[in-house]
Amino acid sequence: MNFHHYKDADKTYLGVAFAFFALGIGMKFFWIPAFLFLLAAFLKK
pLDDT of residue 1: 45
Percent of the chain at pLDDT exceeding 70: 73
- The stretch 5-22 carries a mean pLDDT of 72
pLDDT of residue 3: 52
Which one has a higher pLDDT value, 28 or 21?
21
Residue at 2 is within a domain: no
Which one has a higher pLDDT value, 31 or 3?
31
Residue at 1 is within a domain: no
d(CA 2, CA 19): 25
Q: Taking a C-beta distance cutoff of 8 angstroms, is the pair 41, 13 a contact?
A: yes
Residue at 3 is within a domain: no
Residue at 14 is within a domain: yes
Q: Taking a C-beta distance cutoff of 8 angstroms, is the pair 33, 27 a contact?
A: no
Q: What is the pTM of this model?
A: 0.40
CA distance to 26, 29, 31, 44, per residue, from 40 (Å): 23, 18, 14, 5
Residue at 26 is within a domain: yes
Structural domains of the chain, count: 1
36 pLDDT higher than 60: yes
Residue at 18 is within a domain: yes
Contact partners, residue 7, CB within 8 Å, separation at least 6: none
Domain that holds residue 20: 8-43
Residue at 22 is within a domain: yes
